[in-house]
Chain A
Amino acid sequence: MRTKKQSKLRLVAYFIKGSFYLFALSVFFNLILVFTTVLIPRIIGFTVDCVLQNDPLMGENVLIASLLGGVEFVKSHYYIVLIALLALALTAGISKFFNLYVNSKADEKLMQRMRNKLFCHLLVLPMSWHYKHMTGDILQRCTSDMQTILNFISAQMMSLIRILVLVSISLVFMFMMDVTLALIAATTIPAMFVYSLIFQLKAKKHFRKCDEEEGVLSARAQENLSAARVVRAFGRESYERDRFNAQNEYYTGLWVNLLRRLAVYWSSSDLLASLQLLLIIAFGTVFALRGSVTEGELIVFISYNAMLIGPVRELGRIVSNMSKAGVSLERIGEIINAEPEDYGRLNRPLKGDIVFDDVSFSYDKPTLSHLSFTVKEGSTLGIIGATGSGKSTIAHLLAGLIRPSGGSISIGGVDITSATLRDLRRSVGLVLQNGYVYSGTIGDNLAAVGGSDAQIRRCAEIACFDDVIRGFSAGYDTVIGEKGVTLSGGQRQRLCIARTLMKNAPILIFDDSFSALDSETDLKLRTNLSEAYKNTTVIIISHRIATVMNADNIIVLDDGKIIEEGSSAELLNKGGVYKKIYDRQTGGGAK
């Protein structure tokens, strides 16, 4: 429990770090601001008492008088008052500007720093972490939870400081003028604070309930809109209407109920504020008649009262909302504190024979068990096997997306776990089964790893994609995705292949990357590849015999184990599973 709290505090400190001086500077300007705003009524009080009337100089009025050049001087040069007040007004304006401006600078610096940090961290978190978390959930943490924390630091903590500064400075000024009246004025401050705090805390569960029910309403709308076809197909429009309206009514009722409480709170706390003013006027009048308080001082008290009451009421709300940040801190902490993937420090490019030595992998259940094989540098390995036989796992292991749970994998004699991930992934060009297409243009996607236009063109040609691109009116600048053209499955695969070729990696892995291509393009692409990448080690994973047939060596995988291995000719001679598949796939479709 304590460590949890500590880690949260550490996280807050971490958030504030880069912006600490800016926040401090903002507080400094706030001090000036509060001081000047508190001083203005005080000058008015002095003027009323000592300049407009002839009260004797007492207390701080002595100081104010001497600052302004003496009472007589002020009386004969009355514009001094105007100048003094205007100067204060200007100071207040300027310090307010810098207070807010510096604060917003601090906020934005913090936000930029944390967003960049989160973004980079997300990219280096291991895939095992990403598999466990839903996209929507992570996204929510990076957006709304971040906002909640920023609010906590910038709006809530800073307001808290601001209000405390205001309250304490004006209390000091009030007590310096008249202790009894100050005490009377001060009584409602804690009362107001406690009242608003209690109310806000009590209202919290109602607010939460309302939020939840709005979530339900929103989800219902969402579901209805996404299921528009189903709703119509089953003619359930009236059912949907009634269901939505019932929730809509319920939600409205909850809010009206909560708002009734809120209205009571607002008007009663207003009453408390007015009561406070009444107390000041009533006691102030009595004290003034007794002579212990001057008219000027009474006016100052009235002004301070107007200044204080709003912020104090705000204080209750702020304090009650502060706990919201706790949950968000925890959720962000789960990302920030997650261990990034780390695969060793050896800094050198990987090249050479690929050796799998007794490699096993399990995730939930065993996927690969005790796999051993070698791929000679520059040769081609074909892997064939049913869905779920562990083909992709081999590819993912080689690219360092996952770690083997047993055994070792080496490239050119270097254990891949001792190489840096950067080197490993530069050496291994893996075309994923479901490659992600980035938003932007086709050109952007192809240039994702960098490279010249000529290289892009060249890789697109090898991937049989150049013709397709030229078919689009905007060519390489064609925008893809939501706002642009939709690529067919085969086009996507070719895009992903061309993009990976741009890496110029000594090892290429195609994880079922030709499945959506027609046999003609499949053949052409493979011919292009073998011509262009003579010295590259290639691993082709496929369902299709034709795709792997020409490989130097072929592995038949079943249930995470190698059941057959050899060249196509050898395997055909052997007359095993490979042969069976071969016959079916080339035999003309007889079932």
Chain B
Amino acid sequence: MKSKSKLKALIPFLKPHKMLFVALLLAELFVSAAQTAIPLFQRYAIDTFIGGKTTDGFAVFIVLYALLITAQAGIDYIGSFGCCKIEMFVLRDLRKASFNHLQTLPVSFYNTHSVGYLHSRLMSDTDNISSTVSWGVYQGAYNGLYIIGATIVMLVTSPLLALCVLVIVPVIAVAALYFNRLLTRLRRKVRETNSEITGSLSEAITGVETSKTLATEDKLSKRFFARTATMRRQSVRLGGTRALFLSIFTFAGSAVLAAVLYYGGQITSDGVLAIGALSMFVSYAQGLTDAVQWLMEFFTDLINVKVNVERIDNLLSYKGEVVDTPEVIEKYGDCFNEKRENWEPLNGDIEFDDVTFKYPDGDEYVLSHFNLKVQKGSLVAIVGETGAGKSTLVNLICRFYEPTSGRILIDGRDARERSVQWLHSKIGYILQDPHLFSGTVKDNLLYGKPDASDDELIAALNTAGAFRFASKEGLSLEVGEGGASLSAGEKQLVSFARALLVDPAVFILDEATSSVDTLTEKLIQDAIERIMSGKTSFVIAHRLSTVRNADIILVVDNGKIVESGTHDDLIKRHGYYYNLYTKQFVEFIEKADFN
């Protein structure tokens, strides 16, 4: 019962291909009927022509036979091509639905789900599902119908001999079901060990320098050898089980032939059964073992695919915590249909009004009754140690999360009165490790503003301090996958330029300078000053040199705001900020000395 409900999630994806399924079933009905009929021809040839020592009607026989097999091939083409189409269309639709749904999910969703996890939902689960529903149905229909057809013909010819053959069906079915499940389990184990091995390899490659300096090669190898030994043991067990399964099959298939010949031979010599009919039974016995095996494989696949369906279903039914109300969507549009004509400009006043917040998966309130008014054009700095929870305020301003209670006012209006897309389009958000798309610098810049001219792009690059790219040639440089062919600093500068082009009213810099060398830091520092003038800005930093000029500095420790004020206030206070600052400022100066 439970399994049915899981597979039900697939119905919307199968429904559009109803006609293809009907065509597939009809085609396979004919193909399997033809397959059932072929041993009948063989029987007719032996009993009527050879047994009757006549060639009367032989030509007709040949023509009919040829017609049958030609029709079978032609119709099988329709069936199998139909099946291919179902497979590809279902795959396409599943991927499309999943991908589109993923676009509507908020950033917070991506913080809790790894890219690898989502990617394999999108690429492999969908693949598994579509091939099971298409080829499973094809195999299931063909083999199921063949078993039925062969059973009927055999029962009509000789009920007792038919039972001789049919006795094998439940035996094989049960064995196949048992073994298929066992094999699935064993395979899963092997896969797990295999990914451990991949992990060890990856660790060996990434950590090779460390392993060499520590001279830990022997220890690492021993651990790896233990893993490959486990892998070998598990794989041989899997191989052995599979061998046992297949050999039981081979034995059962041949044993049934023995039974047919034994009992069939006796009734043949008694004259009850003709030789041709006996040979027909031999053929059916051979065909049935295969058919039952395939049918069982289909059932096993169907059981296994439930996991995939469940995962996709979970993904598709996931709703983000941040959802616009229907009224807001009505006016401002959703992420696929933005009604930009209704979007107001953003001035840049931001206010936290009695905001209380805890993360959905956390149990502690990180903000309680927090109030903060940020005037247009001010610079707010948020400082604290790594992992102290500096991003919370930004997460709320960007509506990656909603306050548990209280409001955030944007230009005096509750942020929830306008759409998430509207808000995002007005905020320039610059990350520590900015993501660039593979392609040219120009492609990346145009990402934010597709209609910008080259001159605009070059101007933005100059403002951002990315001088190396501020030319026609520079624009056409390839950045590599994820921006890999640029240095961390260059990536950052290009991402500045990209943000600048959109001309946002609010800038958020999330540790934008923490992964670059000192020289680039200076460049970035200058760029920040240029681009931020007149804009409301939030700077998250763990290096404090950036923040001295901030209008207000919020000091975060352990997820909570522990101090706030201007630089001078906080230094005078000799508190947390003072310690942080004196420690780090010295370090900054030291580095600057060498450049």
Contacts and interface: CB of A to CB of B under 8 A. Distances in A.
A235 interface: yes
How many of chain B's residues touch chain A, expressed as a range?
35 or more
Nearest to A503: B214
Contacts of B102: 224-225
Contacts of B49: 285, 288-289
A222 B221 contact: no
B275 A274 contact: no
Interface string A78-104: 110110011011101110111111011
B243 interface: yes
Nearest to B517: A387
Interface string A121-140: 01111010010000100110
A101 B243 contact: yes
A240 B103 contact: yes
A118 B225 CA distance: 11
Interface stretch (B304-312, B373-381, B469-477, B581-589): B581-589
Contact of A52 (B87, B275, B283): B275
A190 interface: no
Contacts, number: 417
A245 B102 CA distance: 13
Contacts of B100: 241, 245
A112 interface: yes
A229 B387 contact: no
A119 B221 contact: yes
B99 A262 contact: no
Contact of B213 (A81, A88, A288, A399): A399
Interface string B84-126: 1101110110011001101110110010000100110011000
B331 to A, nearest CB: 16
A589 B585 contact: yes
Contact of A436 (B72, B207, B593): B207
Contact of B261 (A44, A284, A306, A515): A44
B225 to A, nearest CB: 6
A438 B386 contact: no
Contact of B257 (A85, A238, A267): A85
Interface stretch (A158-166, A251-259, A408-416, A568-576): A251-259
The dominant DSSP class at the A interface is helix
Contact of B224 (A116, A285, A585): A116
Given A227-B437, A387-B594, A584 B203 contact: no
A88 B50 contact: no
Nearest to B65: A278
B4 interface: no
B404 interface: no
Contact of B77 (A255, A267, A580, A584): A267
Interface residues of A, number: 152
Interface stretch (B234-242, B363-371, B406-414, B555-563): B234-242
B239 A401 contact: no
A241 B103 contact: yes
A466 interface: no
B352 interface: no
Interface in B250-277: 250-251, 253-255, 257-259, 261-262, 265-266, 268-269, 275-276
B6 interface: no
Given A86-B255, A584-B593, A116 B81 contact: no
A78 B215 contact: no
A449 B585 CA distance: 37
A329 interface: no
A489 B66 CA distance: 78
A225 B502 contact: no
Q: Which 6 A-B pairs have the closest CB atoms?
A: A104-B239, A93-B251, A386-B594, A89-B254, A85-B258, A436-B207
Interface of B: 38, 41-42, 45-46, 49-51, 53, 55, 58, 62, 65-66, 69-70, 72-74, 76-77, 80-81, 84-85, 87-89, 91-92, 95-96, 99-100, 102-104, 106-107, 110, 115, 118-119, 122-123, 197-217, 219-221, 224-225, 228-229, 231-232, 235-236, 238-240, 242-244, 246-248, 250-251, 253-255, 257-259, 261-262, 265-266, 268-269, 275-276, 278-279, 282-283, 286, 335-338, 385-387, 420-421, 424-425, 427-429, 431, 434-435, 437-438, 447-448, 450, 481-482, 498-499, 502, 517-518, 583, 585-587, 589-595
11 contacts: A33-B250, A82-B262, A104-B242, A112-B232, A230-B447, A245-B99, A284-B45, A306-B283, A386-B594, A401-B213, A425-B215
Given A111-B228, A255-B88, A581-B594, 8 more contacts: A108-B231, A116-B228, A223-B437, A249-B92, A255-B84, A263-B80, A277-B42, A425-B215
